[in-house]
Structure 1
Amino acid sequence: LISELRDAPCEREDCQYCQTTHDPRHELKRYFGFPDFRYEQPGESLQHDIVLAGMRGQHVLAILATGGGKSLCYQLPALNRFHRNGSLTVIVSPLQSLMKDQVDGLLERNVQCAATLNGLLTMPERAEVLEKIQMGDVGILLVSPEQFRNKAFRRAIRQRQVGAWIFDEAHCLSKWGSDFRPDYLYVSRFIREYTGDHLLAQIGCFTATAKPDVLADIQCHFKESLGIKFKVFPGGYERTNLHFDVLPCIRAEKWSRTDRLLHEHLDSQEGGAVVFVSSRKSAEELSDFLIGQGWPCKHFHAGLEPNTKTDIQDDFKAGQLRIIVATNAFGMGVDKADIRLVVHADIPGSLENYLQEAGRAGRDQGDARCVLLYDPQDIETQFGMSERSKLSIRDI
């Protein structure tokens, strides 16, 4: 009875509880300080509709362009649920840097109930998060899919009522997705075991790059594993503030061309830049070259120690570093608002990866440029790397 009173809006115009706790715009201003959602055109806000569906516990599959306010669409219903009934929202996310950015962003808004479990944490920090989960102090928990095989994590969330299971970068669920992660598929099995005979909590899937066959694969997976059907919110992929260029460039010229582009876009304005390359060695070498040209720059890739990654991210977001030279380990993670330039010194592995990586630019809605330095030989290089990657996965 209490749950029905708290969680189901009565729709009466004179109900103060419904006009506040069940109103997306009221909750948006309360937690994030924004007066209203983004509008695609007068009277139409995809953000509002997705948040409303989330607050009402509907299963949602949402496609929003990178930089289109996707994370707010599941964070706001999660905060609302935690306030209403103390339930936990579990957000499955593929990258440590992405999780850290989201938790840091919420802390900046004085939201203290968000936490993450990933490899960047020390053992004491991990133990502290697990204890907070069990004690009910965490309302938003960001985890990698691999955590669902960890006994301590499983034990902790079994102490809680889970209000929603959110899959960020949901294209990772699909065998057709560019970043297919097999452990993502295990999560739905865990959800089924966790739920048992009780009512299934909301399932939310969010992505910026899913093609039609990927969306169909996601829907099919959840229909077969959990028997659910999504309410689909098909947003667009277009970012009108981003300006794309492909510049022919032989490999020997790429470093100097990158340096010129950085001067063109950063000498006369504030903000930062990200340069993407295809290998760790390239990231280190190009970073050293740019440092030699006087740029405040660091390289970033999966081989760095966790505390080093954290320091680089923090310095970049704070503006102490203006340039990051990165592999795609950085591609989906950073949420710095004023990146004015993204350079691809090597072609990415897929169009989806390119959209994710280029989408780091202009998240403040200001103009930004995305440049691909193209040498025909790059295709052969990328093809060779992809084949070696597939071979190593099969060998494992």
Structure 2
Amino acid sequence: MEKVRFGIIGIGNMGSTHAQSLSGDIQGAELTAICDTNPQRLQWAKDNLPESVQLFDTPEAFWASRAMDTVLIATPHYDHPGMAIQAFENGYHVLVEKPAGVFTKAVREMNEAAAKSGKQFGIMYNQRTNPLYAKLRDLIQSGELGTVRRTNWIITNWYRSQSYYNSGGWRATWAGEGGGVLLNQDPHQLDLWQWTTGMMPKRVRAFCQFGKYRNIEVEDDVTAYVEYENGATGVFVTTVGESPGTNRYEISGDNGKIVIEDGKLTFWRLRVPEPQFNREYTGGFGQPECWTCDIPVPGGGGPQHKGILQNFTNALLHGEKLLAPGEEGIHGLTISNAMHLSAWTDNWVDLPLDEELFYEKLQERIRNSTFHKEQSAAAVLNVKGTH
């Protein structure tokens, strides 16, 4: 393979961005095909992309074309697992947009299909290319911070107005998107939370407010508490209804504390690990000597989406290790599913997640979703020939 031929299914916001990147910005890659059922989006592709790009209006024609080696899936959330499975079954490599899906039951089936296919599988976790989080992961995984004791992420700078939600009837509905701030704004943070620490919670207790600040069905304000196998604890706070918001990620360990905020990584490093100090110190009041270290990190947020596209291309051409393997998409989704289920049942949720119970509770909400009712009414009108 001299070049990786990419086909994109779903040419909306993110799909069109990826299409432009693949039209010359990614070394060793070329955009060869686009699929979308919306004629207006296909017209956009025709007007804005190279003439050599083939256009398809059905997935079936897209799969059958053999016009690409890799399929980039940028469809609505619910469709991600099903589209990925179809792509694997048709012999394609797959790169899927985040989130991996809406519920882990479907994502697990996608992962199983990927394993059987023998094809490369990646997910668009572009924040893994951010040098701040890469350095944090290195400091934790190398043992520099010592054993993790506490994680806290306040991510409340996702402000969204009511007019944003009013821009599409599918927005912020259980039937249309499958969730709110956890599924739409926070997938990157939920992924980075477990990726940087290397830890998944063992149980979750979450308090989700549904339509607290906005006239929507889904969660717009969340405070969650988690516990880890090693005894560490964590808190995750997020909302779309605060301005100004905060983005502060703090991790405490035996050797001090690391904070990412305002584009900086600061390590308050203890000269002597806290457990050792506690064991040896006899002076009553006192605490370990602490050094404030501004950790040097290359400027900017990294190559982001283009970085994932280049990494995936390099994996196929040169065997480069994937920065964001698709199978790992289930981790962050498991956490958000657990938060939803905890709020719905008003109780603790243990991991591994009860996927059947989550699916059952989600289906109840989909049946009562405004978007679902509108779609059902439209379908009835269409059958009667009055629409």
Higher strand share: 2
Larger Cα-atom Rg: 2
Q: TM-score range by the shorter chain?
A: 0.3 to 0.5
Return the TM-score normalized by structure 2. Answer: 0.32
